[in-house]
Amino acid sequence: MIKVKEFPDTLKAGPQPPFMPIYLDHATTTPLDPRVREAMGPFLSDHFGSPSAPHRRGLEARRVVEAARASVARLVDAAPDEILFTASATEANNLAVKGVALAAGRGRILALATEHISVLHPLRSLERRGMEVSLVPVDPDGVVDLNRLRCELSGGAILMSVAHASAEIGTLQPLLDLCRLAQEYGVPFHCDATTTAGQISWPRGGPTPDLLTLTPHLFNGPQGVAALWVRGARRLQPLIEGGAQEGGLRAGTEPLAAIAGFGVAADLARREGPALAAAGAARAGDLRRRLQATLEGLLFTGHPERRIPGHLSLCIRGAEAEALLRALDAAGIEAASGSACTTEVGKPSHVLEAIGVDQVSARGALTFMFGRGNTDQDAAQVAACLGAAARRLRALSPGGIGT
């Protein structure tokens, strides 16, 4: 029997704080843009047709799906017929990794030690089926060693899977160099770009990944939909069977409203993403400087410059992340600790372990990400609240900083 988890008391009905919260968890999900919500509205009421139906309502639904597909393709400079809709980025990552591996039948797969668990867990499943998996280490900033990767590729592989950036530590990988290496060795390259697509302008004219995962809920679009860009005639084995939708690679009736919202969010991100990213980067830099000036015992994680715009990650020694997040939440500040997909597991972060962060520091790991809706005043308030919370928690700790 499935055990239903109770909501925390803080989420149950009751008095709410008399202020607007400062939302700094954009690396987990983002608020739905009102323009996206408006575009989705008709498909949640009268315009409800199935895109596979042959009648007028169905044909109109198909037109909407294909228009959205074209919008998503423009975001990453792809051909529309190379965009495959899925229900989540996790599903898209599974389809990319398992789809290539199962179609090949056997072989070796390369990935970074810092990959998201929606890549690492499928790799473990494939290992149990006899596939060989090699996890390539990263440096203390979370950046892959290209020479080490070249050596690994020279041994042959059926797939290389590397995320463009880590949502946990913010580090950007050298995407163009990765694409060139994969092409040089003739190895298909899958890139999980969920944290960067819609945030960073896609490079034009150069080499591109063979498969790429993106999702609109990280650039102010709807949850419950994502996409996998499958470049060219790449052979995949479908994971969900039972229909001819999405070229036979993803059976099931397409979520019309979510896909329509995805298309609008992609167009907005293409036009407005660079300015939004620049504002987020400036605000994250402001928060970093304020924390450095007022709080000791900090360990900033990830690359100091090559990182997701608006992203800041750090460890606060002598304070537990869970207690810090509760204190921030009580002050109306919403942040995160680690990956949203692993927070409830209670295990040490594999990403922090991969970059050499000690277990004591890792217990105080926090992630902030600025985005749409934040203001220039937010950094000062967050720094003040976080500093006060950290000092209070350290005072309660018998050994102070470093315990």
Looking at the annotation, which residues are catalytic? 341
Half-sphere exposure of 182 (CA within 13 A, CB side): 24
Question: Which two three-digit tokens encode residue 364?
Answer: 């105080």
DSSP 159-223: EEE--SB-TTT-BBP-HHHHHHHHHHHT--EEEE-TTTBTTBPPP-SS---SEEEE-GGGTT--S
The edge-to-edge listing of strands for the beta sheet with 298-300 is 298-300, 311-316, 365-369
CA gap 363, 264 in Å, rounded: 39
CB atoms inside a 10 Å sphere around CB 42: 14
Q: How far, in Å, CA of 27 to CA of 370, rounded?
A: 9
8 DSSP assignment: P
Q: How many CB atoms lie under 10 A from the CB of residue 290?
A: 18
Which among 281, 285, 334, 283 is positioned nearest to 308, based on CA atoms? 281
Question: What is the Cα–Cα distance from 105 to 129, expressed in whole angstroms?
Answer: 10
AA identity, residue 230: V
Is the Cβ–Cβ distance between 84 and 73 less than 8 Å? no
Contact 334, 23 (CB under 8 A): yes
**Rounded distance between C-alpha atoms, residue 112 and residue 100, angstroms:** 17
Whether the CB-CB separation of 234 and 95 falls below 8 Å is answered with no
H or E segment and range at residue 229: strand 226-230
Q: What's the rounded Cα separation, in Å, for the pair 200 and 217?
A: 15
